[in-house]
Amino acid sequence: MALDTNDNTDIELVTNTTRANIQNTLQEIFDYFIGMTKSKTGIFRQAIMGKSIDYSSRNVISEASYDSVNSYRDMKVDMTHTGIPLTTCINIFTPFIVKWIQDYFNRELNNVKDISIIKNGVEERVPLAKDVMNDFSYDIIKEKIHLFTKAPGERFEVIKFKLDNGKYASMKYLGRNREFNDLQKTDSSIANRYMTWTDIFYQAAVDVCKDKHVYITRYPLEDYFGIYPSRISVLSTFKTQPQYIENTYYDSYPVIDLSLSKEEISGLFVDSMQPFNSYLSGLGGDFDGDTVTIRGVFTQEANLECERILNSPSNILNLIGQNNRPISMECVQTIYDMTKA
């Protein structure tokens, strides 16, 4: 039986039309997903750049300060150290910080049954509450960390201890010495004020971070230079001072003024991370609001591995032997390095 050519033409037309419709549909689907995924607003970049894990933080990059240093030896930020804000340190190392603070107060209060306070100008001994350590439980310290992070104006909150009569006394900070008081009293100490959560968090962060590293990552990762390990320099307030506390010397202790308002306090702290400028080239970053992810390294083995990578030639040279950590990215850093001698 002979086929009708008109029928073949109709089938061909339907087939080609169907193929064209499928092609157009695929093109529309492709364009749709490309539109969703491309650039910084795409779902992949947003998901990757916004992805976070436990004990990690996202920070804006900022330039290190040169105001308070007279020599390159005084720099808090160098090839092996990155300036990490105090709030970031206590968040990425929360388990260590909480343990340090609990040990600290256990040590201070373990054998203390009563304390001296000044009441109506007269010094008297008042017993501590038997459950005084309940105010320094894991959950309460984590709440203090959350408040310290989210409410900068509350960072000079005074540390208080529960007395046996249900009232609270404040811890007196005296630089080299400390005592408990419910009223300020005049003395010749370096710092005549109460102890705040900034004091305890800073001391804890410096001690905890002295043998720790962080991994700093800027997404998207184009090569292995987009992530690098670093030691930690804890940044607190913009204005700092040398301080000696319990045989421990702090060369950049935060300056704390309890007379300031909450609005003034919130502007005193460094809340951006400060990388060494040589790392900017590998990160593909600059100081126009770029952000990085910071993750703390917990185990001793992992920290030893960070130190090995940090001192490896691969941390400086790329696969063809070129230096990928130049000092020419920032003129301030370059001039400083050229004239530091």
Q: What is the pLDDT along the chain (341 residues), one digit of tens a residue?
A: 454 555 567 778 788 888 888 999 998 888 887 777 776 666 666 666 555 678 889 899 998 877 666 776 778 898 899 999 999 999 999 999 999 999 999 888 777 777 766 666 666 778 888 888 888 999 999 999 999 999 999 999 999 888 888 888 887 775 544 444 554 444 444 556 888 999 999 999 999 999 999 999 988 777 888 899 999 999 999 999 888 887 788 989 999 999 999 999 999 999 999 998 889 888 888 888 888 999 999 999 999 999 999 999 988 888 888 888 887 655 665 666 677 65
Residue 162 placed within a domain? yes
Cβ atoms < 10 Å from Cβ of 145 = 19
Distance of CA 42 to the CA centre of its chain: 27
- Domain range for 190 is 53-339
Residue 157 placed within a domain? yes
CATH code of the domain in which 217 resides: 2.40.40.20
Per-residue pLDDT, 198: 96
Residue 138 placed within a domain? yes
Q: Is there a cis peptide before residue 85, judged by omega within 30 degrees of 0?
A: no
Categorise residue 121: left if φ over 0, alpha if ψ from -120 to 50, beta otherwise: left
Cα 9 from Cα 187, distance rounded (Å): 105
> pTM score, two decimals?
0.78
Residue 60 placed within a domain? yes
* Alpha carbon distances (Å) from 222 to 43, 52, 217, 228: 18, 19, 11, 13
Per-residue pLDDT, 183: 47
Structural domain count of the chain:
1
Residue 48 placed within a domain? no
Given a contact cutoff of 8 angstroms between Cβ atoms, the answer to whether 160 and 168 are in contact is yes
Residue 70 placed within a domain? yes
Residue 103 placed within a domain? yes
Cα 50 from Cα 146, distance rounded (Å): 20
Per-residue pLDDT, 103: 94
Per-residue pLDDT, 1: 47
Per-residue pLDDT, 34: 76
**Which residue from 172, 179, 240, 174 is spatially nearest to 206, judged by alpha carbons?**
240
Query: Token pair of 336, please?
Result: 């400083």
